[in-house]
Amino acid sequence: MGSSFFDDVNHYFDAACRHTSVPEDILAQIRAVNAVYRMRFPVVRDDGEVVVVEGYRAEHSHHRLPTKGGIRYALDVTQDEVMALSALMTYKCAVVDVPFGGAKGGVVVDPRNETVGFLERVTRRYASELIRKRFIGPDVDVPAPDVGTGEREMGWIHDTYKVYGQDTLNALACVTGKALSVHGVSGRREATGLGAVIALEKFLANAEDLKPLELETGMAGKRIIVPGLGKVGLHAARAAIERDAIIVGVSVSDGALYDEGGLDVEAVLLHRSESGSLRGFPGARFMVDPDLIVQEPCDILIPSALEHQFTAKNAAKVQAKVIVEAANGPVDPDADAMLRDAGVAILPDIYANAGGVVVSYFEWIKNLQHVSFERMTRRYQQIANERLLDVLARVTGETLAPEDVALLAQAPTELDFVRTALENTMAISYEKIRDNWKQRSLPDLRTAAYLTAIETVANAYQLDGICP
């Protein structure tokens, strides 16, 4: 039997610890999961049958509150998995400098084979268990969507908290990833996938770092495979295409497509929607086994599904030069060592897929402020832009075309605020990671990212002290 997912995370943690002077006692505290709530509760099916459902919520670190992390619905959810994912959330939040500790939750249920009514009852009961044990609240622990959950489930959780929670004034901030109609934030759906591509952009901007890989700077023309064309992978693919990259391969749970000339991702989605499968998509090679897609020729792989997509069994067959971990834990330690020895650059998950928690932070702030980002400023900014255009016209004596005036006069929307703030956050975070990588002669970006996170969390403990 191989190592557990939590063991894998701690393997990377321990490797980074060799390069720091943080005291051992503080490292031991950072490494540990602070609290785990395992629950079992009865739920009635639509036909009256009573089933016992198992769920978890892990809070890895309380160095900053609230803790933050998604809730996944899947039959293979385990305590080890939510512990590992909660640890990754702690390091992720520290790397991108958002003031959260890490958490994660999961429920052992298959949302694909259950009715909406049953899922609602499961979600509300799970939320009520979290409320009862103080594992949820705007200042305590703030869940978000993950695999198998989305805006609908977050709405049910918010509504349940509104009824039973302690902080009803700030109830909206008890969960993020809500629909816009429930005061979610623009740009949250695509945040993780978009953030991964922004991370890739930052890496591809440094010619010095690309020389060993024999790659040119920039996204244009890069051949990309996206294993896992789900919520994260789809938005990553779209963001890459917008930057003139070429998607040559994709996979879903029941197959994969490869076309060295490039895939029309929207056409792929339409074909699957109409036929129920990727099979038969014109001009592309279909693979029954979706795992084989990672072995096809490309410049960049953006794994966007679940953990352990790369192991010792397939790492040697990878032809990509760069792997961007849009999923959590897609490369296990054995594969990581093999890929590093082969010269493959890996943008680690605790940085590459942090876009989701960054934008969740913006939603949390929005909900605590009780006002949208643009409501107080947009019209003012528009008036200021119009005045500036008037002055420029008087000074220059030139009249701009109406379409140019309209473009220059428009004020930023909430989506504009969110996307520019996301890009800025990812850029600043990458520079910190890269500085650690280069200045301290670290073996790779993963070690640099973990070291950045460890020292950030350690600094919080050392400055705040330990109570009492």
- How is residue 317 annotated by DSSP? G
- How is residue 137 annotated by DSSP? B
What's the CA dihedral at 20, 26, 29, 31 to 10 degrees?
0
Distance CA 423, CA 168 (A): 33
Pairing of strands 50-59, 101-107: antiparallel
Pairing of strands 322-324, 345-347: parallel
- How is residue 244 annotated by DSSP? T
Cβ contacts of 336 within 8 Å, gap of 6 or more: 12, 310, 346, 446
Cβ contacts of 412 within 8 Å, gap of 6 or more: 374, 378, 381, 420
Distance CA 308, CA 329 (A): 6
Q: Is 102 left (phi over 0), alpha (psi -120 to 50) or beta?
A: beta
Active-site residue 104, yes or no? yes
Q: Are 268 and 289 in contact (CB under 8 A)?
A: no
Cis peptide before 468 (omega within 30 of 0): yes
The pair of three-digit structure tokens given for residue 434, joined into one six-digit string: 């890269």
Distance CA 415, CA 417 (A): 5
Query: For the CA atoms of the chain, what is the radius of gyration?
Result: 23
Cβ contacts of 281 within 8 Å, gap of 6 or more: 257, 267, 268, 271
Q: Give just the sign of the alpha carbon dihedral 108, 109, 112, 116.
A: negative
Task: Establish how many alpha carbons lie within 13 A of residue 416's alpha carbon, considering only the half-sphere containing its beta carbon.
Answer: 7
For the chain, report the end-to-end CA distance as a whole number of angstroms: 41
Q: Are 248 and 319 in contact (CB under 8 A)?
A: no
Q: Are 265 and 239 in contact (CB under 8 A)?
A: no
Distance CA 341, CA 212 (A): 13
Q: Are 191 and 355 in contact (CB under 8 A)?
A: yes
3-state SS of 170-236 is CHHHHCCCCCHHHCCCCCCCCHHHHHHHHHHHHHHCCHHHHHHHCCCCCCCCCEEEEECCCHHHHHH
Amino acid at 182: V
Instruction: From the candidates 68, 104, 231, 366, give the one annotated as an active-site residue.
Output: 104
Task: Tell me which residues are annotated as active site.
Answer: 104
